[in-house]
Amino acid sequence: MIQPRIESPLSDGYAILRWEPDTQLFRKEPYDYTYHFYECEDTGERFVTPELANLNTAQVYNQHREKHSILFPEQIRAMRERYDLTAARMSLFLGLGANQYRHYEDGEVPSASTANLLRLASNPSTFRGMVEEKRTELRPNEYLKLVGRLLELIDQEGTSHRVGGFLVRSTPPTAVEEPDQYTGYVTPDAEKFAELVLFFFNYLDNLFKVRLLKLLFYSDFYHYRLTARAITGQRYRAVQHGPVPQEYGQRLQEMVQRGQLTAGFHPSLVQSDNGAPVLAYKAARKPNMDVFSESERHVLAVVLQRLGRKSRREIEDLSHEEKAWQDNEAQKKVISYQTYAYDLNALRLA
């Protein structure tokens, strides 16, 4: 993980983590980002580690993908897994080199033409046409199995028929939210959101909604601060009591319906603004920490240690000191991870 202070390779002393606004050209287009580097205390020289280089590059790649609607690596991987294919088979159907497709899953940014090809392939109906073109290169059983899978996916997305010359979809497809600067450049993940909620309920007593929502905000934005990727992909809106996930009430109610949380009105607490009783949640089981990566578990530990014991008033006041809230609260805007994650007062790296 990125450390605020490391031993300097340029002297016998230490180097301090610094960052500053910068602009980088990528494929002849400028992108503003937060440049991270270490500065040797003895020599004043700057240098970057592989981790910082990845963080700097990821910020630029994220913005380029968003601007040009290029699939993110997790979307490309999910597409292949949805079709139940190996990377080699996907390369065959897309007409790519044996190892080229795998590079896109690993994070390489495809060219404009390849990006368009990958976007087209993510549609099962279009991909079926690509499969038909390669039919002679497939074993009969392999072909039948894949076409069967594609027909199943096409049926799930809904069938279309014509009415009065217009194409009408009988069953609307389930919308998949695209990663962007407001999701922390990851696809919103309901499972990780639920396990993150359970994590805090299991470790903290007397945890009510306002504190919980701030802990979720700091977890997602601090992870983006370190990796240029959010944890849950939730969109956070700046409201009166600080940043909150959009539709958090619906998300929590879904957890109650799935038996992950229990809910009931707290007998001794009321809301100060209207005197209504406070709805209190409790975890119905332990969190499944296996859904989190090493860096995500690290962030959860840091947030729990630094902010977990703060009172509602303390953590609300901290969130009001963040530019993420100050710049967006008046119009209750959704908060950009890329713009605000590198300026978290409550969880500074240095």
**CATH no. for residue 29?**
3.10.20
Using pLDDT thresholds of 50, 70 and 90, give the confidence band for residue 274. low
287 and 233 inside one domain: yes
Residues 199 and 333 in one domain: yes
Instruction: Please indicate, yes or no, whether residues 130 and 226 belong to a single structural domain of this protein.
Output: no
pLDDT tens readout for residues 109-141: 999 999 999 999 999 999 999 999 999 999 999
Query: pTM to 2 decimals?
Result: 0.88
% of the chain surpassing 70 pLDDT = 91
Angle at 312 between CA 309 and CA 316, to 5 degrees: 110
**Domain co-membership, 54 together with 113:** no
Query: What does the alpha-carbon distance between residue 218 and residue 213 come to, in Å, rounded to a whole number?
Result: 9
pLDDT range class, residue 173, cuts 50, 70, 90? very low
Q: Which residue has the higher pLDDT, 26 or 349?
A: 26
> Is residue 203 in some structural domain?
yes
What single-letter amino acid sits at 248? Y
Residue 287 is predicted with a pLDDT of 97
Does residue 50 sit in the same domain as residue 96?
no
* Per-residue pLDDT reduced to its tens digit, 192-204: 999 999 999 999 9
CB 24 within 8 A of CB 1: no
Same domain, 84 and 63: no
Look over the chain and give the mean of its residue pLDDT values, rounded to a whole number: 91
Q: Does residue 335 fall inside a structural domain? A: yes
In a domain, 48, yes or no: yes
Rounded Cα distance between 291 and 7, Å, is 33
Query: Do 204 and 331 fall within a single domain?
Result: yes
The per-residue pLDDT for range 37-77, each reduced to its tens digit, is: 999 999 999 999 999 999 999 999 999 999 999 999 999 99
Among 45, 68, 91, residue at a domain's last position: 68
Residue pair 55/228 in contact (Cβ under 8 Å)? The answer is yes
89 and 33 part of one domain: no
Whether 298 is covered by a domain: the verdict is yes
- CA distance linking residue 270 with residue 134, whole number of Å: 65
Question: In this structure, is residue 179 part of a structural domain?
Answer: no
Domain that holds residue 320: 190-343
Instruction: Report if residue 140 sits inside a domain.
Output: yes
Task: Please give the backbone phi and psi of residue 157, each rounded to the nearest 5 degrees, phi first.
Answer: -80, -10
State the Cα–Cα distance between residues 61 and 209, nearest whole angstrom.
35
pLDDT band for position 170 (cuts 50, 70, 90):
very low
Q: How far apart (Å, rounded) are the C-alpha atoms in residues 119 and 122? A: 5
Number of domains, the chain:
3
pLDDT confidence bin for 162, thresholds 50/70/90: very low
pLDDT tens digits, 175-234: 567 899 999 999 999 999 999 999 999 999 889 999 999 999 999 999 999 999 999 999
Torsion of CA 218, 71, 333, 29, to 10 degrees: 100
Q: Look at residue 269 in the predicted model and tell me its pLDDT.
A: 57
**Helix extents (H) in 17-135:** 50-68, 73-83, 87-94, 100-105, 112-121, 124-133
Residue 90: how many CA atoms within 13 Å on its side-chain side? Answer: 25
Region for residue 185 given its phi and psi (left: phi exceeds 0; alpha: psi -120 to 50; beta: otherwise):
left
195 in the same domain as 86: no
Contacts for 1 with CB less than 8 Å, ≥ 6 apart: 51, 226, 295, 298
Residues 79 and 220 reside in one and the same domain = no
Residues 25 and 134 placed together within one structural domain of the fold: no
Q: Which of 189-203, 255-269, 314-328 has the lowest mean pLDDT?
A: 255-269
> Across residues 301-329, what is the average pLDDT?
96
CA proximity to 72, closest of 82, 83, 85, 63: 63
Residues 158 and 99 occupy one common structural domain = yes
